[in-house]
Structure 1
Amino acid sequence: MPVCGDLKDYQFTQLVQLLDRGVKTGRLAVQLPQAPQPTLLIWFREGHVVASTVQGEPSALVKLMAQRCLIHQHQVGLLRQLARSSVPLGMALKTEGILLPEHLQLLFSLQLRNSFNRLLSASAGWFRFEERQAAPRSELTGLSLRGREALVLGLRQLQDWQALQHQLLAPGAVVRLKPASNPSLRLNSLERQVLQQLDPCCQVSELERRMPVSGQQIRQAIFRLQVLDLVQEDFARSIHSPKPLVLPGMPPDLPVPCVEDRQGLASVPGNEPGSTSQSEQGEQVPILRAFVDFLKGVA
């Protein structure tokens, strides 16, 4: 059953992290409200991003190749033949000697950049995730990247942080190291410096005093480390940062997305006509947990 929601309540960064943690396979479609913004499509396989494109734009990967002069007119017939095979188009072209490994890396990074940059700066929009929706082989380079690591690559290039500003920690927050998870993504210089300063914890304002960069840059680096699951806020020690009350297994401040009914109409628990009273809401907790368990992959 498709899961849908509003980006005002359930931000793109949070959604991708849950799909990563839940090891989900399927297609995420995000429609931005500003015309003529298109619907952006991102495919996941076991929590890894495998492809991204714009809805209604066929052969997007081939267009990227042509823009970079990686293919030529006389190879169009071969492209059509390879696109019908069971192998990702990028890997098929690599086997034929047309593309090099560095070409695949470039094409995959362009796919991610075109979608993630727009979605990370979006403050409004609607999303829909459908399981078991495989990506067209003609849009696959054959490469993949964990959802959280794809987010960090996008965040490093992000210029407009306005939509994410409220997710950055306040100066009074205390940041603590988490047990090493050994991410495959290499940290940049600022991220490594922040980690070195946490031994094992430190207040954000103290990091700003110690390090020769702006407080905004430090808080952005901390946010990227949080996405990579390397650090976390110590709520017990943070100043003016109360510990949030959440359902078991649910990340803090994460509204539950709605699930479409059989008629395709979205319904949010507690907001539909004839919703239950506050005294009856306790009976809905198993339903809410089921929504969260779906995204997190809990049996």
Structure 2
Amino acid sequence: MSLQPATQDDLDGDVYVFPRHLARSTTVGDPALVPLRDLGWDLHHDDLGNAYLTAPDGRVRLGYLPEGEDDGLWRINAYRDAFGPPVWGVCFNADAPTEFATAFTTALATAYCDGPDRYLARPVVGSPERDPFLAVDPLIARGWQFDRPSPDTFAVTSPDGLATLEYAVGPLDAKSELDSRSARWHLWSGTNVDRPFWYATASTDTPAALLRAVTESVADPAPLLRWRQATHSYVKGRAQLTPVLPPSLPSPTPLDVQRALAARRPTAVPAASVPRWSTTSRPALPGPRR
């Protein structure tokens, strides 16, 4: 596919969105469910259309909740005891790019196969593998800037100032971490933390490797593919939108030209007046949208 620049008002059809933190959800949850379904996790739905995945040992559960009670579209919890309280919880809201949730579930699938020591690995400051700030490194490497917006919060902000990862210091209420935005980790996009474009949260004991998978996806310089009409007006003037054009037609070879001329000689129309291919030929139309 070729990427061609265009003005905002000229765009229609599929576009690439950059930076990717300005893309919205695809509203299709399947890609993020696949890594766990491939492990044989149990899937069932309720009468409203919400989907639930449960690990075979019952110690990790995922809810995809388009008809949930709030805007938390993805809620993933892990348990040391299948019948006890959650050890950690992660939430992606309804507008969070689906690719970020998919990065998390892909890393979770790998950690689950490695066992509880991985998917229940509590972060440990200074540990080579469990230091929570390993999750910040991919963003720092892409030019995100360190900040201290308040005495109880550390943060890194994207170069365009439109995405922030916050880390709350000090004690937090365990229940509030799981069912509100008052969590240890708060990743959001926008200019107002109280009214973000999208957000994701993770509680204190969420394994650093799982968090890093998300921040690596956020920091990835590759744009995200979206349908132009589904992009939010918020991105106008902020995001770089590049249309997806059909492949260019190949140039004819000399043999192609000779065959075209030979094929037309028996007709009454001079061969040179109706070439088989020209630079003004219309390109093939794109296939039907999925």
Could you state the TM-score of these two structures normalised by the residue count of structure 1? 0.25
Could you say which structure has the higher helix fraction? Answer: 1
Asked which structure has the greater CA Rg, the reply is 2
Could you say which structure has the higher strand fraction? Answer: 2
